Structure 1
Amino acid sequence: MATAGKRGASSPAELTRVGDRSSFVYLERCVIHREDNAITAEDGEGVIYLPSATIGVLLLGPGTRVTHQAMALLGDSGAGVVWVGEQGVRYYSGGRALTRSSVLVEAQATAWANRRTRLEVARAMYLMRFPGEDVEGRSRRELLGLEGDRVKAAYRANAARTGVEWRGRKYVPGRFDEGNAPNQAITAAAQCFYGIAQSVVAALGCTPGLGFVHSGHEQSFVLDVADLYKVDVAIPVAFDVAAESEEEVGARTRRALRDRIHREQLLDRCVDDIKKLLLPTGVDVEEADRVGLQVDRGADIESGRNLGVIW
């Protein structure tokens, strides 16, 4: 049997599709290592095994130690790796991508670089958030106002649905425990979606910093994508959890959200939504490794050949 270090990287055809993976796995206070093609997590209670190719995003909380071999396997498998704060409520850093193709990142950069197409993508994002709304001709300021009103209405509606007392959205960064149960749940749900969005954006080879609604931050596009599902998924789950109990709100929110995401195949939806936003109709991401060389006119030419001209 080959040792872990001698095993070759999986080819794109061998990897599990993003939409078929588990949404996310949160680990804390354990040592993460590699055994064959599985990730192991060991703590005082024993060892668990996680097939690396089935992980969408691995959230590493406080007290985790991860080996070089484990990270190499996660990278080869295309799993997103995100370092987060306690209970997954703060994002610190993220890992690498699954795709070998630059089709989506080139489409993203092209759309972002032009003010007109950048606004068109932003309008399409808002239309995904509130279907049936007339977004054509709306300024960014008007769109932001519509979204703000819609989120506030969602808070009120879910509070009424679950019977949870709601006094408004309040969150101070770094002081998660000071919030009441619904605010803690909303914060935990939002942070989980940031991790999921980061995983999908990276897996598809997009650039997290080129946002169409958010700007000026290294995770602008991640925030754009996460917000697509805030009202439909994150807020209802958060209020359901807060209505059940005020104990361990962060952990229970993550588990409830994980189950909802898996049940509704939200990763598939997220992948499809990003492609729909960025790619022209009929164009898809190439799954195989291909490196071309740019030319002044026409299609790229094949690389790997000496194209020198002897005078």
Structure 2
Amino acid sequence: MSISKRGASSPRELTRVGDRLSFVYLERCTVHQEANAITAEDAEGIRHIPSATIGTLLLGPGTRVTHQAMSVLGESGAGVVWVGEHGVRYYSGGRALTRSSALVEAQATAWANRKTRLEVARAMYRLRFPDEDPSGCTRREILGKEGDRVKRCYRKESARTGVPWRGRQYVPGDFTAGDPPNQGITAAAQCMYGVAHAVVAALGCTPGLGFVHSGHDLSFVMDIADLYKTSVGIPVAFDVAAESPEDVGSRTRRAIRDRINETGLLGQCVRDIKWLLLPEGADILVDDTADRVSLRSDRGPDLESGRNYGSDGESDAPWEVIW
């Protein structure tokens, strides 16, 4: 089927982000499009991958991707991440699965007010550490509590797995500078950033408006990924390091993928973002599949778009179609 003749998928035809695979990692191959799927071709042959079931496609070293493949991935709402050597660096893009602006408007509203911005940050801490109450804590106190809890998590996982822990070591651009558990933590973090970015983009939120992180175009992505740092990322990294010090990066990626699919983390991530940003019960009122544009009004309901609301005296029907 010609890419130019294939119609774009409607919102109802796309797979919900919570029901997708977390991510697919490819390296040293050419990614192309065939019908409604993408293909990965290497020396061993061609593999077909249903694009509408992918949360994020990780493109590792030696990969090439065609324009047709990127087009079908964009229509499917899949995130695409170009991963550097050992998965240390990435560049991402994608298209929202939702056609509703409800979540991004709620995010912007909460972010724009200093009080509600702090309330969301406290709620994020409460999700990560439900046994502690951050009510009344300042940002500095929250950061201190978070730092202490993460350090205790490192020590706990070290004791559980028997892997020695000498502190967090990360040299940007040099993955091999860290010992096996540090390599695993770095690889796990990059995977979680990619998955969080896919969910944030799929829900139509803005990656740059963070409530804990700030000043980066992926601040909100980092906020969401950190929600699962101590429950998924760090434990998996220590498990992998305990098995063998060899090839920690790729084994951690596979282990993170399996853990995400086993625990249904994509669906949990969707629920957590909606809980953080929307008033209680409002998520059931958000129609993610509605492909509708309206015009704001000063009072009352929004107005129907695509109509001309001007009246210059020349027409008895001022609400005519504008185009």
Place the TM-score, normalised by the shorter chain, in its bin. over 0.9
Name the counterpart of 2:141: 142
- Contact in 1 for aligned 2:98/2:202 (Cα 8 Å): yes
Name the counterpart of 2:9: 10
Aligned partners of 2:145, 2:167: CA distance in 1, in Å? 18
Q: How many residues align?
A: 310
Query: Please, what TM-score do these two structures have when normalized by structure 1?
Result: 0.98
Matches within 5 A, 1:269-308: 269-284=268-283, 285-287=286-288, 288-308=290-310
Deviates more, 1:5-14 or 1:300-309: 300-309
- Identity, % of aligned pairs? 74
> What is the CA distance between 1:83 and its match in structure 2?
1.6
Name the counterpart of 1:212: 211
Query: Please, what TM-score do these two structures have when normalized by structure 2?
Result: 0.94
Aligned partners of 1:58, 1:107: CA distance in 2, in Å? 28
Q: Cα deviations across residues 278-303 of structure 1 (Å, max 9, x unaligned)?
A: 01122233221010011111221111
SS in 1 for 2:21: coil
| RMSD of aligned Cα (Å) | 1.0
> What is the CA distance between 1:210 and its match in structure 2?
0.3
Aligned partners of 1:72, 1:209: CA distance in 2, in Å? 24
Aligned partners of 2:83, 2:181: CA distance in 1, in Å? 21
Name the counterpart of 1:240: 239
- Contact in 1 for aligned 2:32/2:65 (Cα 8 Å): yes
Hey, which bits of structure 1, 4+ residues long, moved more than 6 A?
A: none
Aligned partners of 2:230, 2:181: CA distance in 1, in Å? 14
Q: Cα deviations across residues 195-214 of structure 1 (Å, max 9, x unaligned)?
A: 00000000000000000000
Aligned partners of 1:271, 1:164: CA distance in 2, in Å? 33
Q: Cα deviations across residues 55-82 of structure 1 (Å, max 9, x unaligned)?
A: 0011112221111111110111111111
1:193 and 2:220 are equivalent in the alignment = no
- Contact in 1 for aligned 2:295/2:304 (Cα 8 Å): yes
Which residue identity does 2:211 align to in structure 1?
F
SS in 2 for 1:6: coil
Unaligned runs of 5+ in 2: 314-323
Unaligned runs of 5+ in 1: none
Aligned partners of 2:4, 2:258: CA distance in 1, in Å? 34
> What is the CA distance between 1:47 and its match in structure 2?
1.0
Name the counterpart of 1:183: 182
- Contact in 1 for aligned 2:75/2:95 (Cα 8 Å): no
Which residue identity does 2:55 align to in structure 1?
G
> What is the CA distance between 1:309 and its match in structure 2?
1.1
Deviates more, 1:167-176 or 1:284-293: 284-293
SS in 2 for 1:246: coil
Which residue identity does 1:162 align to in structure 2?
T
Aligned partners of 2:129, 2:262: CA distance in 1, in Å? 22
Matches within 5 A, 1:1-311: 2-284=1-283, 285-287=286-288, 288-311=290-313
SS in 2 for 1:75: helix
